[in-house]
Structure 1
Amino acid sequence: MGQQERKVEVHDKTARYYPANVLSLTELSYWIAFSRVMGIGPVRFQMLLDFFQEDVAHAWQASSKDLQAAGLDQGTIKNFIKQRANINPPYELERLHRLTIRVITWKDATYPPLLRKIDYAPPVLYTCGKFTEDDLHYTIGIVGTRKMSSYGHQVTEHFTKELVKGKITIVSGLASGVDTVAHRTALNQGGRTIAVLACGLDTIYPRTNYQLARDILDSERGILLSAFPLGIRPEPGNFPARNHIISGLSLGILVTEAPLKSGSIITANSALAQGREVYAVPNNIFSTNSEGTNKLIRDGAHPVLHVNDILENLNIHTVPLDEGTPARNPTTEEEKILLALLTREPQYIDELIRLSKLDAPIVTSTLTIMELDGMVKQVGSMQYIRTT
């Protein structure tokens, strides 16, 4: 019996698994089904959404004539019709639920905003684990060679530790070498990390990182993420797409050690194409393991010697609190108003006065008290951030 003949219903328990999803479960199952079709990527999928007025079920069931009218060429149409005969949308959704894999689409508010801005952002993401607000906004990708030296290990560990202190989520590709050190160090330091895979989430590659992937999930401080559906193996052609997502999720990419021919250089080039910052750690000019990073610096990447080289370039001001002196909660109405307006991005006091609609002397005196009590910090000339 072919998969297309199987009668699979979406159970109530599956519905409870997606309580906040914008799409109905039926719609979601067709988005998943389209992600399984080779040859229909973000551009062609958007063409179908536009033509069928976002009725994905109609697009899935469309005739050759309608698909052609939507703009698909004959080769793609023939390929799609052949593949859809072996894909059962409700079954795909149920299978993901059984494996506790969540699906995020372009339609969802939890779709990472940085990734949404890039060209060819995948319509569907598969995830294990949940995003936090910092995961969506304060992320640095750390990549490098699989065959790292002791120096590469040292600098990767050092920069990861320092970024985690600043509450930055570390993004990498779960590969051996630099990726492994970045993920593991983030976890060991109590930070968060996102591992982007070049295969379906039912496969962990390399196998030697199975325990690392398990620890990312068990710690509840990280996410496994892929744009590839279940059953897709880690084929060589998948890795550039994986690298495209690593850079797309990140404010910037840090390359700690890489030879000239390296996937991390592809990631850096992808970041540049996406308008993201690229940082590289300089090393011995005679080391083949650092030819890639040194060339990135020569070609315009930011050389970094300290974590502040990254944070200041991105205008990120982080103030980790001393665990022994936690900030108190706001007690006055003025404190509550100002704290609600403040973020980790610096704001001038004039803007806080305007937004709060409080008198200038009250704002000034309240901010002074809040800074003394560890709730806010002045990071520039009359610029403030919250410290929690």
Structure 2
Amino acid sequence: MLPKEVLFSFFPKSTNKRYAELLNTFSSLEYAWHATRAELKQTKWKQELINEFFFWKKDFNEEKTQTMLAQQEISYILRNNPDYPELLQNIYDPPFCLFIRGSLRKCTIPLAVVGPRKNTQYGKYITTELVKPLVEAGVSIVSGLAYGIDAIAHSAALAANGNTIAVLGGGIDKYHITPASHTGLAERIVEHGGAIISEFPPGTIPSKFTFPRRNRIVAGMSFATLVIEAAEKSGALITAQCAIDAHRDVFAVPQNINSPNSIGVHKLIQSGAHLVTQATDILEILEVETRTQHKETKTIIPESPAEATILQYITHEPIHIDMLTKQANMPSAEITGTLTIMEMKGVVKNIGNMMYIVCK
């Protein structure tokens, strides 16, 4: 038999507030499940909602649901379970039931990493550069499996043999992974010891109303939230606000001021978010000791006058080759040839769209 918390979660109109109203009225959810219409009227549930509940309950098949969960290898964690994420217990309105595929056991130092679905090449690069040393230090990456920075963060964690958790705004059954093109990524997360979780039962189709609730879990189960990029109005900012509301640290990566994805992160920094330029900025505040030896930073010694000139203008801030050519006042052919040689030596990197940065 499934716990009544799980059964109630399958009711489409179920919310934490309505769940609490049942507990405030009845001695147990077992009693509430078998309550009559008259008894349910004692709660704050309106008659229309009560009618909908009984209509839904009449067709609900608990045995079929239990079989489906087993076949999909989906388990659940209730708030009174010791495996329930401790940090999530401490937020406003924590989920009374979490559905999970995989395991949370390796998630010891969770950090939310968020950003836009339409990321820049710089956003992709910096996410990968930050995630690798973070997971090597034992940090677990928590994100939302969406397009853009979410997927990049999950993939970077897996590539570094790290732990990552995906929080969905819909069902976690294999038929409702959103976006569907990330089903393979979701499977890899589970296979590598991570987890896919949601407060929404299997079969739930995500909507504009479920994603903000997903964001509060992403932030709520994490020690801090790292915002890679964010436009002025962005889901990443909602996640950051959830972290602030839960009294958690927020980190933000500075951006090119001409990029639309810089507006949100720069406002966060102006409001007190920690500015991040390297992983140690985060690890120090989280008081996490790195598990790998820090490589000594070496001075880049140019091997030609052309390299020396280029190194005066190329930094960790992306610069387009056209702008570099103009600033360095060099022929475009010489710039192109010198950059190619410098990239082969690992001195600079083309992060896409002919945008270059200097390597560490």
The residue number in structure 2 matching 1:233 is 205
The residue number in structure 2 matching 1:180 is 151
1:155 Cα offset (Å):
1.0
1:110 Cα offset (Å):
0.6
The DSSP-based 3-state class of the residue aligned with 2:225 is strand
The residue number in structure 2 matching 1:129 is 102
Greater shift after overlay, 81-90 or 143-152? 81-90
Verify the 8 A CA contact 1:198 1:234 in the aligned structure 2.
yes
Please list, as runs of the form range in 1=range in 2, the aligned pairs for 1:1-388 lying within 5 A after superposition: 25-26=1-2, 28=3, 30-54=4-28, 56-132=29-105, 134-135=106-107, 137-202=108-173, 203-219=176-192, 221-314=193-286, 316-320=287-291
Verify the 8 A CA contact 1:280 1:301 in the aligned structure 2.
yes
1:120 Cα offset (Å):
1.4
1:280/1:319 CA distance change after superposition, 3 Å = closer
The residue number in structure 2 matching 1:380 is none
Verify the 8 A CA contact 1:139 1:251 in the aligned structure 2.
yes
The DSSP-based 3-state class of the residue aligned with 1:200 is coil
AA paired with 2:247?
Answer: G
Question: Aligned equivalents of 1:165 and 1:95: distance in 2?
Answer: 36
* Cα deviation 1:299-329 (Å, max 9, x = unaligned): 2211112222222223x2324167xxxxxxx
1:278/1:321 CA distance change after superposition, 3 Å = closer
* Cα deviation 1:85-118 (Å, max 9, x = unaligned): 2222333222111111111111211111111111
Verify the 8 A CA contact 2:137 2:292 in the aligned structure 1.
no
Question: Aligned equivalents of 1:195 and 1:306: distance in 2?
Answer: 23
AA paired with 1:76?
Answer: L
Question: Aligned equivalents of 1:318 and 1:75: distance in 2?
Answer: 55
Verify the 8 A CA contact 1:160 1:182 in the aligned structure 2.
yes
The DSSP-based 3-state class of the residue aligned with 1:39 is coil
The DSSP-based 3-state class of the residue aligned with 1:247 is helix
1:38 Cα offset (Å):
3.0
AA paired with 2:96?
Answer: P
1:44 Cα offset (Å):
2.1
Question: Aligned equivalents of 2:216 and 2:15: distance in 1?
Answer: 14
* Cα deviation 1:174-227 (Å, max 9, x = unaligned): 0111011100010110100001111111211112212111211222x2101111
1:75/1:272 CA distance change after superposition, 3 Å = farther
Question: Aligned equivalents of 1:90 and 1:59: distance in 2?
Answer: 19
The DSSP-based 3-state class of the residue aligned with 1:201 is coil
Aligned residues: 291
Question: Aligned equivalents of 1:39 and 1:81: distance in 2?
Answer: 12
Verify the 8 A CA contact 2:229 2:253 in the aligned structure 1.
yes
1:48 Cα offset (Å):
1.5
The DSSP-based 3-state class of the residue aligned with 2:157 is helix
Verify the 8 A CA contact 1:32 1:92 in the aligned structure 2.
no
Verify the 8 A CA contact 1:187 1:193 in the aligned structure 2.
yes
Alignment root-mean-square deviation, CA = 1.7
AA paired with 2:259?
Answer: S
Question: Aligned equivalents of 1:319 and 1:282: distance in 2?
Answer: 23
AA paired with 1:290?
Answer: S
AA paired with 1:104?
Answer: I
* Cα deviation 1:26-67 (Å, max 9, x = unaligned): 4x2x2222001233311221232243222x222112112221
Verify the 8 A CA contact 1:127 1:226 in the aligned structure 2.
yes
Verify the 8 A CA contact 2:283 2:290 in the aligned structure 1.
no
Question: Aligned equivalents of 1:48 and 1:90: distance in 2?
Answer: 24
Bigger relative CO (Cα 8 Å, ≥ 6 apart): 2
The DSSP-based 3-state class of the residue aligned with 2:142 is strand
1:153/1:321 CA distance change after superposition, 3 Å = closer
Instruction: State percent identity of aligned pairs.
Output: 37
Question: Aligned equivalents of 2:247 and 2:241: distance in 1?
Answer: 10
Verify the 8 A CA contact 1:33 1:88 in the aligned structure 2.
no
